[in-house]
Structure 1
Amino acid sequence: MRKLLLFSLILAFTFQTEVIAQKKKSRKKQTEQVAPKPKKSKKPKYSDFVKSNTKTDDGLFKVHFTNNKYMYEIPKAHFGKEMLLVTRIKDIPAGLGGGYVNAGSKINTQVVVWEKFQNKILLKVKSYNAIANDSLPIYKSVKANNLEPIIYAFDVKTENEDSTSVLVDVTKFFTSDIKAISALPARYRRTYKVRRLDPSRSFINSIKSYPNNIEVVQDFTFDADAPPSNSRTNTITIRVNQSMIVLPEDKMMPRIYDKRVGYFSIGNVDYSSEALKADDKRYIRRWRLEPKDINAYNRGELVEPIKPIVYYLDPATPDKLKKYIKQGVDDWQKVFETAGFKNAIMAKYAPTKEEDPEFSMEDIRYSSIRYVASTTRNATGPSVSDPRTGEILESDIIWYHNHLRSYRNRYLLETGAANPSARTLDTPAEEIGEMMRMVISHEVGHALGLPHNMAASYAYPVDSLRSGKFTQKMGIAATIMDYARYNYIAQPGDKNIRFIRQLGPYDHYAINWGYRKLSWAKNPESEVSTLDKWIEDKADNPIYRFGGQRFDPSAQTEGIGNDQVKASTYGMKNLKIVATNLPDWTSNQTNNYVDLSELYGELLGVWSRYVGHVSGNIGGIYEYNKKPSQKGFVYKPVTKEKQKEAMNWLQENAFKTQEWLLDDKILANIDESGYTNRMLRLQNRQLNGLLNKAKLERMIDASVIDPTTYEAIDMIRDLRNGIFQEANYTRNVDVFRRNLQKSFIDRMSTLLNSKNAQHADINSIVRGELESLNFQLTIAKNRRVNRMTKYHYRDCIAKIKEALNPN
């Protein structure tokens, strides 16, 4: 009975479970039958983006424009190819950058690559700071430790019909505030209190594709609380040009940099070296010049390059100046002949719209000379180069409109005493043109890869610059790349003098060294022995020396001649003549004092430069760049005799009150006050330069190498005795000297209480000299001098005590 009951219960449970299961299965089946099938996503087609009304520009990439959207069609073959992305300003608001930024200014240059990752196209920045041969194991480590930043990630919209390229929408990229391609660096954003980019007032003007480059023009409008102009708008609008150019796959063979010859350079750290450390490699920056006929070139014949260097003149250039600008470029043709090239460089007038509707000054395929409507007085010669090899790809020389006024003023001030044609505000047009021609030549030199060579002006003996025969042939410095603008040494009565700078022998030497094709060389290293020989063959001739402006008195800006004391003495004699005649040459001609005031201010600047050339000798170290195979030391202190001579000259021509600069016919007509402060600022520049911590440390170190040199303790004692000369006699001290003497004490106090002096001797010397001065002034204040001098001495004593015992 129990068994039968148990069996019945099991049977009932099993039957019920099956029924429920069947019902669930039936419901599931019904659900499956009635549920709609999911639609397959429709893959976008090429025709969805490139339609009948689409405008397409074919070039490096195809650029498609439809309904205010820009698409790049990127060939897959271009993935991983290195391209140079150059950000420039096309049009600029007034005042941006303080006057030294202009239409055409380069803001950023970076190597970029396009890469595919999943369904994205990445735009990445590639660095050449660290490199290694990709066949070596260490290449993996270099890659791992130099991860490339991603500027932007684009969605792949679709592919073209044969799947050889992908389409990406670049509209948002070029209308957003992407810092990597922005024309407003962080410092400008801080200065102008930029808050945000306004997308409603920012847009793409155009995108044009050429065979090797793509040019994008954008308008950006930013909300800014302190814009450089139109302040009430709280707005900065800037037009930007982005140039993307594919870098040459056939790389130019680099030339190894040598600091004995002046060239701009690019550098990287090469981990491929088998030495115990990575190699720092550095290559010069230069244009790629390849001879059309290599056999004729190797025979020593002049040969035209396959691709010459061409500069286009800005259509905005005034007609009367065009020929001088063109000459400034073409003058380098003769220089390149020294390197074996004929017609290697030239200037051309920009084509008209009818001749070439696609021509643009922003197009990176064209180098240009821009004429900028700006009150800035300057000119520059920047360039764009391949960071892998140093090959210069393009450059834009910039001339600012007001720059000629600077040259006219300097011409009058520096040569007017010996040069009758400079004694006017209306400088003859041909002479103005010659000045402009030489400025352009100087900037072209930069664009060819040459930096300033301030040592070149030291190559010529001072008295040679008073010779007509010498200056007409050799100019006033050995290179156009020095800042030797005018011959201020020639004296009244000297005949047939060249007053304006020109190209010189160093320019021929440097271009030959950097540009001559060594066709037999297989790699940069194989050229070195030949390049070394060219340098060492001329190493003893100062005409071919390269020097940078730092602590070397023979490489100073604006100076000429190989003896600064002698040169500045001649310069001062001329400047005194000019100062006497300045009203006659300016206000008496114009019947106003505007030019007199401007030129007097610049005359003080010229005086300050002449003084600075002499003060550079004190604590100066000559630098003669050499390799160990050459004789002599690299660094050599200026002799004690030369430094003492410079100190005596400074006391007489800088620290003594210069009465000739205080002509009432000038001062009483240009300003109501400020004469003493202006003179003090100029004297302080020289004083602070002498009592400079780095200079004093250099003098202390120099005495270790050469115990006979001018020591810091002697220099400060001589400086004190000269500046406080009146305290040794019964003499009144005038207001200019009183100001200078107090400045001396203030500067000494700063040195004494400096927390970061590298040499304890500086503190000892300064303390000892202040104590000696305190004793000297304590006696002097009791002499029979006027009341102002007595008060002055008492004040000086109080300042010394405060310096010696602060707080």
Structure 2
Amino acid sequence: MLKKTLPLVIFSFLSFHHSHAQLFSKKKNKSKSEVSDTKPKPDKNGIKKYSDVIKEGSKTDDGLFKVHLVGDDHYYEIPFKMLEKEMLWVSRISQLPNNLGGGYVNAGSKSNEQVVEWQRYKNKILLRVKSYSNIADSSKAISKSVKVNNFEPILFAFEIKAFSPDSTAAVIQVDPLFTTDVVAISGMSSWLRKRYKVKKLDQSRSFINSIKSFPENVEVKQDLTYDASEPPSFAATGTISLQMNQSMILLPENPMTPRLNDPRVGFFTVSQIDYGSPELKADEKQYIRRWRMEPKDAEAYARGELVEPIKPIVYYLDPGTPENLRKYIKQGIEDWQKPFETAGFKNAIIAKDAPTPEEDPEFSPEDIRYSVVRYVASTTRNAVGPSVSDPRSGEIIESDIIWYHNHLRSYRNRYLLETGAANPSARTLDTPEEEMGEMMRMVIAHEVGHALGFPHNMAASYAYPVDSLRNGEFTQKNGIAASIMDYARYNYVAQPGDENIRFVRQMGPYDHYAVNWGYRWLPNVTDPTQEKGVLDTWVLEKGNDPKFRYGKQSNRFDPQSQTECIGDDTIKASTYGISNLKYVLPNLPSWTSDKTNNYDDLDELYGELIGVYNRYVGHVARNIGGVFETIKTPSQKGSVYAPISAKEQQESMVWLQKNVFDTPKWLIDTSVLQNIDHSSYFENLRRVQSRQLNQLMGIETLGRLINTETLDGEQYGAYQMLSDLRKGIWKEAYQNKSVDLYRRNLQNTYLERLTELLLDEHSASYNVETSDVKALAYGELKALQSTLKRAKNGNINAMTKYHYENTIAKIDSALDE
């Protein structure tokens, strides 16, 4: 088989939409088949003899389609039996200029995925984009309405150049598709075009690099060059060049039987609107995204034996992966073997080195047949786990894990800051390789989890009691959260002297539960509704155990679903965490600058320590106005939403006043700051305090407090919270004391925020103008004004007196508007 090399094309991510009327039909519409199989007669209207187009000496690659290279021209020979077959088209960037997209776009990034069909219309071949957003059974009359109201776009139209010698295929020239600016398969998204002021694609510098045809897919690499006024690199050229990879793979003739989503178990999903549903509405159906996992030996599987899947999930390591990291990446991939064993499969997921060119000259990381852990030479600190799925069923076809080179530095820094007090081996810039490898292994396992269909589960870190995280035996067995899919990276609760502690996250019981729920094979299921009862039973069995609870990352009001948080008591956990930071900060110079003889790492780590502290106090601030969300069905006891108790909210306010708003002067460590910062100590603290004020005085927080107080008069209400906040932040005015610089900054920030509530605040959730929010802001300003008028005449210093008079003037101005 002859092969060629092609440049890649990036796609902007498209949602899958499909109005095809027959979602799971196993047979094509008869009339369509008859049209497709009709052998056309040669036509004189521009259609030539085969030999006049595909000339002697042409290079041919046979596979899904025959691909011909005739001189510099590229042709597809599309069999009529392949017309109207659904194919998944995936666009990825293969090569790109430095810093495109600010570091978050890289080689391997997917720009678009879409379902397409090749169709014939007269003497043209059409490439049409298909959609599965809206569907209806083809046997129902409404399917006709669905079809005409969801007319699918033609991506490109090709003139038929010739027919194959046996008249079973049409020959088209595909160069125009890959050398013009087709937005749907372009790596240059609209925001990139705007950011870099892209003018146009220069066709004279754009060309097909290679086309390869395989039995079930065709891979195209294309080089695209754009004129741009402000390119991300090589600015003097006014040019952005990309290499794109276009993958087109034949979707299964018989889609995998989908599994209906249950919001109590976390899965990524595909959605469809079924207009043929017996419900009295267009019925939205959500199917989980998962790999097809079927046992080789169904009888042994039914007996409860571990059985290998017919097709295991295989990840290849990027050939550019550093040698010393490969074993940790493989371990992170294969850590999911144990959860799959819970679902009855052995060797379900396997890690392999990429074949060498000698072993397989056709191997390419961009080939959609292969899932790859891509190692990206980039200063970005991140890792991601995207995947590509069949929109008809949710079947995951392929995924690429992307690891950015500098990401380990983030983990080293966090390891030092969050565990250094209790963990002597973290007190260095040269973290032992095995410990860094363990961290990388867990990050890879987390990203593979995404690629298996699992979103973040932010409730998993709330499953364990805080003090159990100080117990060596417990942490070694259970880790620090119930799932690897939470953002619970390190054990920041453990204190100096605690022994045998596990500090790094690991796989947890929820991961086994979720894999079993999503991947366990149930025989004789041909319709997803047939297994709904069994799946519901599995959820109910675990319904009251917090280890198996799912919490959405998008939740902004639930204290049990927070990022970077561990333990079931945020006040206690954050108290432990801050205690550890107080140990770490004064030791930072001896762990960093004293060893390196420069202050770069000290500067970086101090900035990150402020960020860690900010997260700890933010975890407590979420309690105020907090509402627990426990996703349930009506058959389960208890409510879905339950506000946090008034007692815990009041305790949280007291804690915040003590640990945030009373100036945390321990952060002003002169042995650190006098070597990294010439003047902005006070501003660093003001930003931390401002963030927490914005949370507490946020319009959504106030709205929840008003709502829960309305439902239950014993709850901690907005009036009480704002009163407590004012009395704590302005306590000097009540105590006849002078106010220092840090507290004046805080008080000015408070006043600014309160004035915004009165004059400028809006909400997407409710009408602020008709709510109590502005009345509360007005009342608080009046109360503060009255207090300061008395306090300015007290026994205070001149700066405090000026500060109070200035505040009174600002309040007068705000109240007059």
Q: TM-score, normalised by structure 2?
A: 0.93
Aligned to 2:718: 712
- Find the aligned partners of 1:709 and 1:59 in 2 and give their Cα distance: 68
Aligned to 1:648: 654
Judged with a 3 Å threshold, the aligned counterparts in structure 2 of structure 1 residues 671 and 272 are, in CA distance, closer, same or farther, namely same
Aligned to 2:163: 159
Deviates more, 1:300-309 or 1:675-684: 675-684
Matched, 1:769 2:775: no
Matched, 1:447 2:447: no
How far does residue 704 in structure 1 lie from its aligned partner after superposition? 2.5
Aligned to 2:693: 687
Equivalent of 1:797 in 785, 808, 811: 808
Aligned to 2:132: 128
Residues 105-144 of structure 1 aligned to structure 2 (within 5 Å): 105-144=109-148
| Contact 2:47–2:160 (Cα < 8 Å) also in 1 | no
- Map Cα deviations across residues 669-704 of structure 1 (whole Å, 9 max, x no partner): 002122222221121111101111111112111222
Residues 187-586 of structure 1 aligned to structure 2 (within 5 Å): 187-549=191-553, 550-586=556-592
- Find the aligned partners of 2:225 and 2:599 in 1 and give their Cα distance: 42
- Find the aligned partners of 1:495 and 1:742 in 2 and give their Cα distance: 45
How far does residue 706 in structure 1 lie from its aligned partner after superposition? 2.4
- Find the aligned partners of 2:124 and 2:714 in 1 and give their Cα distance: 71
Higher relative contact order (CA 8 A, sep 6+): 2
- Find the aligned partners of 1:479 and 1:643 in 2 and give their Cα distance: 27
- AA aligned to 1:397 is I
- Find the aligned partners of 2:687 and 2:527 in 1 and give their Cα distance: 54
- Find the aligned partners of 1:407 and 1:706 in 2 and give their Cα distance: 44
User: What number of residue pairs does the alignment pair up?
Assistant: 768
How far does residue 116 in structure 1 lie from its aligned partner after superposition? 0.9
- Find the aligned partners of 1:689 and 1:96 in 2 and give their Cα distance: 34
User: SS at the partner of 2:279?
Assistant: coil
- Find the aligned partners of 2:222 and 2:577 in 1 and give their Cα distance: 51
- Find the aligned partners of 1:42 and 1:174 in 2 and give their Cα distance: 22
How far does residue 758 in structure 1 lie from its aligned partner after superposition? 6.0
- AA aligned to 2:448 is V
Aligned to 1:609: 615
- AA aligned to 2:816 is N
Judged with a 3 Å threshold, the aligned counterparts in structure 2 of structure 1 residues 41 and 230 are, in CA distance, closer, same or farther, namely closer
Aligned to 1:37: none
| Contact 1:697–1:758 (Cα < 8 Å) also in 2 | no
- AA aligned to 1:777 is L
How far does residue 586 in structure 1 lie from its aligned partner after superposition? 0.7
User: SS at the partner of 2:468?
Assistant: helix
User: SS at the partner of 1:479?
Assistant: coil
How far does residue 705 in structure 1 lie from its aligned partner after superposition? 2.4
- Map Cα deviations across residues 764-801 of structure 1 (whole Å, 9 max, x no partner): 11100110000111111111212111111111111111
| Contact 2:47–2:161 (Cα < 8 Å) also in 1 | no
- Find the aligned partners of 1:367 and 1:156 in 2 and give their Cα distance: 35
- AA aligned to 2:794 is R
Matched, 1:778 2:782: no
Structure 1 stretches of 4+ moved >4 Å = 40-43
- Map Cα deviations across residues 7-61 of structure 1 (whole Å, 9 max, x no partner): xxxxxxxxxxxxxxxxxxxxxxxxxxxxxxxxx8785100011122111111111
- Find the aligned partners of 2:702 and 2:193 in 1 and give their Cα distance: 39
User: SS at the partner of 2:772?
Assistant: helix
Residues 673-684 of structure 1 aligned to structure 2 (within 5 Å): 673-684=679-690
- Find the aligned partners of 1:349 and 1:313 in 2 and give their Cα distance: 5
- AA aligned to 1:707 is G
- Find the aligned partners of 1:758 and 1:360 in 2 and give their Cα distance: 59
Q: TM-score, normalised by structure 1?
A: 0.94
Judged with a 3 Å threshold, the aligned counterparts in structure 2 of structure 1 residues 520 and 42 are, in CA distance, closer, same or farther, namely closer
| Contact 2:734–2:791 (Cα < 8 Å) also in 1 | yes
Equivalent of 2:771 in 746, 750, 760: 760
- AA aligned to 2:318 is D
- Find the aligned partners of 2:45 and 2:431 in 1 and give their Cα distance: 78
Judged with a 3 Å threshold, the aligned counterparts in structure 2 of structure 1 residues 291 and 759 are, in CA distance, closer, same or farther, namely farther
- Find the aligned partners of 1:524 and 1:482 in 2 and give their Cα distance: 29
- AA aligned to 2:791 is A
- Find the aligned partners of 2:411 and 2:300 in 1 and give their Cα distance: 43
Judged with a 3 Å threshold, the aligned counterparts in structure 2 of structure 1 residues 498 and 618 are, in CA distance, closer, same or farther, namely same
How far does residue 735 in structure 1 lie from its aligned partner after superposition? 1.4
Aligned to 1:94: 98
| Contact 2:708–2:715 (Cα < 8 Å) also in 1 | yes
Judged with a 3 Å threshold, the aligned counterparts in structure 2 of structure 1 residues 511 and 42 are, in CA distance, closer, same or farther, namely closer
| Contact 1:475–1:502 (Cα < 8 Å) also in 2 | yes
User: SS at the partner of 2:674?
Assistant: helix
Matched, 1:599 2:627: no
Matched, 1:590 2:596: yes
- AA aligned to 2:702 is L
Q: CA RMSD in A?
A: 1.2
Equivalent of 2:728 in 702, 722, 743: 722
Aligned to 2:21: none
Compare CA radii of gyration and give the structure with the larger one.
1
Aligned to 1:28: none
Aligned to 2:737: 731
| Contact 1:475–1:504 (Cα < 8 Å) also in 2 | yes
- Find the aligned partners of 2:679 and 2:252 in 1 and give their Cα distance: 62
| Contact 1:44–1:158 (Cα < 8 Å) also in 2 | yes
Judged with a 3 Å threshold, the aligned counterparts in structure 2 of structure 1 residues 115 and 758 are, in CA distance, closer, same or farther, namely farther
Where do 5+ consecutive residues of structure 2 fail to align? 1-43, 763-767
| Contact 2:87–2:248 (Cα < 8 Å) also in 1 | yes
- Find the aligned partners of 2:143 and 2:47 in 1 and give their Cα distance: 40
Matched, 1:698 2:710: no
- Map Cα deviations across residues 710-746 of structure 1 (whole Å, 9 max, x no partner): 1011111111111111111222212121111111111
User: SS at the partner of 2:117?
Assistant: strand
